[in-house]
Amino acid sequence: MKNIVTLTVNPAIDKSTTVTCIKPNSKLRCTTPIFEAGGGGINISRVIHELNEISTCLYLAGGPTGTHLHQLLEAENISQQMIPILGWTRENLAVTDTTTHQQFRFGMPGPDVSEEECTKVLKHLELILSEGDYLVASGSLSPKMSVDFFAKVATIAKSKKVKFILDSSGEPLVYGAKAGVFLLKPNLGELSRLCGVDAIHFSEIETLAQNFLRNNPCEVMVVSLGPQGAVMVTKNTVDYIAAPIVLQQSTIGAGDSMVAGMILGLAQGKSLVEMAKYGVACGTAATMTPGTQLCRKKDVDALYKWITENSKENTKININT
Ligand SMILES: Nc1ncnc2c1ncn2[C@@H]1O[C@H](COP(=O)(O)OP(=O)(O)OP(=O)(O)O)[C@@H](O)[C@H]1O
Ligand SMILES: [Mg+2]
């Protein structure tokens, strides 16, 4: 299998707890919190590990929370490389009210990352990447980081002949995609942003995605459609992959699990359609686990088998290209 490197610029410690009856102006006694390593690329590495494969989990972290993050990944046996920064790694908080079962999720912005620290990351990538590797950057940038950071990463990946996968949002995603990405996995909101439109009707997805690929240095786009599955688009083909209907517990981590499945599929040499099917299997499997839990291998295997056996040949080939 080819090497996979995941990059998380703004990771987090996800702290979750429960409380009986959230009400203002009173001391709320929470249960013992659970700590988990979080952030796009970190989640992807954790899913790859769950699927019995190895990736290098590269991230920026600092302060005592950064040390804690390192320990959490170590406890999960994730192969990791931490780039130390001055600012403290953020800690997000999720509190579930046991009387209403409502979950309140508080996300922190993350530490400032200096220009020098960004340069350190780019130099490190130059050092560790080799031809044929897969690099995936996932998640948000830290506040004050230059909006073209993923574009710089894309340029390094190109010069190293590394396949770059980007799953981010907003301007950083647009800059990255314009600089060159092998595989993009936008949801509908992110696709609108990439294409500069306010909203997308279902019937427009294929055309918008193909136009984007034809006008930008990107090869494959898998547009994720939540419970509807995904549509995989290249310049000449369109494939729909329906998501199986499952007993849904929580959709948290569906996107990251999907991206993990697709990269693993690519690194294992699967065809583009098979890698998209495997991605949908992983994304849907993540919805079968409660809370922040990612996908489980036994669910992924069963769903992938189901998708493979039940998918009809629905590739559309554009002959007018
Ligand atoms: N309700 C659901 N039922 C079945 N599968 C789902 C559901 N929601 C998500 N999925 C699976 O997960 C994949 C990714 O989901 P989605 O399109 O919501 O990504 P996303 O918006 O990037 O998610 P995230 O918020 O985690 O970043 C889908 O393509 C599908 O396979
Ligand atoms: Mg997403």
Q: Is residue 286 part of a domain?
A: yes
The pairing of strands 103-106 and 90-97 is antiparallel
Query: Last residue of a domain, which of 184, 204, 227?
Result: 184
pLDDT, residue 76, reads: 97
Domain that holds residue 120: 1-13+33-184
Residue 132 to residues 31, 121, 186: CA-CA distances in angstroms?
Answer: 47, 20, 24
Query: Last residue of a domain, which of 184, 209, 242?
Result: 184
Q: Does residue 125 contact residue 60 with C-beta atoms inside 8 Å?
A: no
Q: Would the CB of 243 count as within 6 Å of ligand 1?
A: yes
Nearest residue (by CA) to ligand 1, atom 22, is 255
Identify which ligand lies nearest to the alpha carbon of 286: 1
- DSSP string covering 10-26, please? S-EEEEEEEESS--TTS
Query: Last residue of a domain, which of 184, 210, 239?
Result: 184
Q: In this structure, which amino acid lies at residue 188?
A: L
pLDDT, residue 316, reads: 57
Let me know the angle formed at the C-alpha of 274 by 231 and 301, rounded to the nearest 5 degrees.
110
pLDDT, residue 239, reads: 96
Q: Could you give the number of structural domains in the chain?
A: 2
pLDDT, residue 182, reads: 98
| Protein residues within 5 Å, CB atom, of ion ligand 2 | 255
256 is catalytic: yes
Q: Would the CB of 187 count as within 6 Å of ligand 1?
A: yes
Q: Would the CB of 224 count as within 6 Å of ligand 1?
A: yes
- Looking at residue 46, which CATH number applies to its domain? 3.40.1190.20
For residues 128 and 218, membership in a common domain is answered with: no
Mean pLDDT of each 10-residue bin along the chain, 321 residues long: 94 95 94 95 98 98 98 98 98 94 93 97 97 97 95 98 97 98 97 95 94 98 96 96 91 95 97 98 95 92 94 56 41
Structure tokens at 99: 């009387």
Rounded to the nearest angstrom, the distance between the alpha carbon of 225 and the centre of ligand 1 is 6
Rounded to the nearest angstrom, the distance between the alpha carbon of 84 and the centre of ligand 1 is 32
Nearest residue (by CA) to ligand 1, atom 25, is 255
pLDDT, residue 318, reads: 53
For residues 145 and 9, membership in a common domain is answered with: yes
Q: Is residue 20 part of a domain?
A: no
Q: Does residue 6 contact residue 58 with C-beta atoms inside 8 Å?
A: yes
Q: Would the CB of 284 count as within 6 Å of ligand 1?
A: yes
Return the ligand 1 atom nearest residue 253 CA. 26
For 29, phi and psi rounded to 5 degrees? -90, 110
Structure tokens at 121: 């990351």
pLDDT, residue 84, reads: 98
Q: Would the CB of 33 count as within 6 Å of ligand 1?
A: no
- Alpha-carbon distance of 42 to 9, in angstroms, equals 10
- Alpha-carbon distance of 241 to 75, in angstroms, equals 35
Torsion of CA 88, 45, 52, 184, to 10 degrees: 170
Q: Is residue 104 part of a domain?
A: yes
- In 206-250, DSSP assigns E strands to 218-224, 230-233, 237-241
Rounded to the nearest angstrom, the distance between the alpha carbon of 40 and the centre of ligand 2 is 8
